[in-house]
Amino acid sequence: MEDNERISAKLAKFRPSLTLAMKETVERRRAAGLPVYDFGLGEAKGELGPELREAGEIAFREQQTIYTDPAGLPELRDAVLDWLGVREHYKIDNVVVSTGAKQSLFNIFLAVCNPSDAVLLDAAPWVSYQPLAVAAYGFPVMVIPPGTRRARLKVTPDDLNRNLDVRPHAKLFLLNNPVNPTAQLYSAAEIEDLLHVCVERRVYFVLDRLYWRILFDGLTYPEPRIDEQTKPWLIQVDGMSKNFNRGGGLRIGWAVAPRDVAKAMINLQSHYTAGPATPTQYVALAALTRPYTGRLAKELQARRDLLLHEAADMPLVDIWPSPATFYSFWDVRRCFGMWTPDGILLRGSDEVANYLLTSAGVVTASGIGFMQNGYLRLSFTAPEEQIVEGMQAVRRALSALRPRFSEDTAAANARLVERTAATVSAACEVGAPV
Ligand code: PMP
Among 104-108, 231-235, 321-325, 405-409, which is the least confidently predicted range?
Answer: 405-409
Rounded Cα distance, 104 and 238, in Å: 8
pLDDT per position as a tens digit, 143-177: 998 878 889 999 999 999 999 999 999 999 999 99
Atom index in ligand 1 nearest the CA of residue 240 equals 15
Q: Is the pLDDT at 334 greater than 50, yes or no?
A: yes
CA of 210 to the centre of ligand 1 (A): 7
- Annotate 133-202 with DSSP letters as a single string: HHHTT-EEEESS-TT---GGG---HHHHHHHHHH-TTEEEEEEESS-TTT-----HHHHHHHHHHHHHHT
What pLDDT is attached to residue 324?
Answer: 98
Would you place residue 430 in the very low, low, confident or very high pLDDT band (cuts 50, 70, 90)? Answer: very low
Rounded Cα distance, 186 and 175, in Å: 10
Among 115-129, 314-328, 411-425, which is the least confidently predicted range?
Answer: 411-425
Q: What share of the chain is helix, strand, coil (3-state, %, to 5)?
A: 45, 15, 40
Task: Determine contact, residues 241/220, Cβ cutoff 8 Å.
Answer: no
Is 241 near ligand 1, meaning CB less than 6 Å away? Answer: yes
Is 101 near ligand 1, meaning CB less than 6 Å away? Answer: yes
Q: What is the mean pLDDT of the segment spanning 41-55?
A: 93
The sheet carrying 204-208 orders its strands as 95-98, 253-256, 234-239, 204-208, 170-176, 118-121, 139-142
319: helix, coil or strand?
strand
Percent of all residues in the chain with a pLDDT value above 90, rounded to a whole number: 82
Who wins on pLDDT, 418 or 218? 218
CA of 251 to the centre of ligand 1 (A): 10
Residue of 290, 282, 322 whose CA lies nearest to 306 = 322
CA of 353 to the centre of ligand 1 (A): 22
What pLDDT is attached to residue 10?
Answer: 84
CA–chain centroid gap for 292, Å, is 22
CA–chain centroid gap for 128, Å, is 8
The end-to-end CA distance of the chain, in Å, is: 31
Q: Is the pLDDT at 354 greater than 50, yes or no?
A: yes
Residue nearest to atom 8 of ligand 1 (CA): 42
What pLDDT is attached to residue 432?
Answer: 33
Residue of 142, 209, 203 whose CA lies nearest to 176 = 209
Contacts of 415 (CB under 8 A, 6+ apart): none
Is 195 near ligand 1, meaning CB less than 6 Å away? Answer: no
Would you place residue 245 in the very low, low, confident or very high pLDDT band (cuts 50, 70, 90)? Answer: very high
pLDDT per position as a tens digit, 192-203: 999 999 999 999
What pLDDT is attached to residue 418?
Answer: 65
What pLDDT is attached to residue 417?
Answer: 65
Contacts of 50 (CB under 8 A, 6+ apart): none
What pLDDT is attached to residue 413?
Answer: 62
Residue of 69, 136, 120 whose CA lies nearest to 276 = 69
Would you place residue 409 in the very low, low, confident or very high pLDDT band (cuts 50, 70, 90)? Answer: low
Rounded Cα distance, 288 and 278, in Å: 15
Is 208 near ligand 1, meaning CB less than 6 Å away? Answer: yes
Q: Is the pLDDT at 29 greater than 50, yes or no?
A: yes
Task: Determine contact, residues 61/198, Cβ cutoff 8 Å.
Answer: no
Would you place residue 424 in the very low, low, confident or very high pLDDT band (cuts 50, 70, 90)? Answer: very low
Rounded Cα distance, 167 and 123, in Å: 17
**Candidate from 104, 179, 242 with most ligand 1 atoms within 8 A of CB, to mutate:** 242
127 φ/ψ angles, rounded to the nearest 5 degrees = -55, -30
Atom index in ligand 1 nearest the CA of residue 99 equals 16
Q: Is the pLDDT at 433 greater than 80, yes or no?
A: no
pLDDT per position as a tens digit, 74-127: 999 999 999 999 999 999 999 999 999 999 999 999 999 999 999 999 999 999
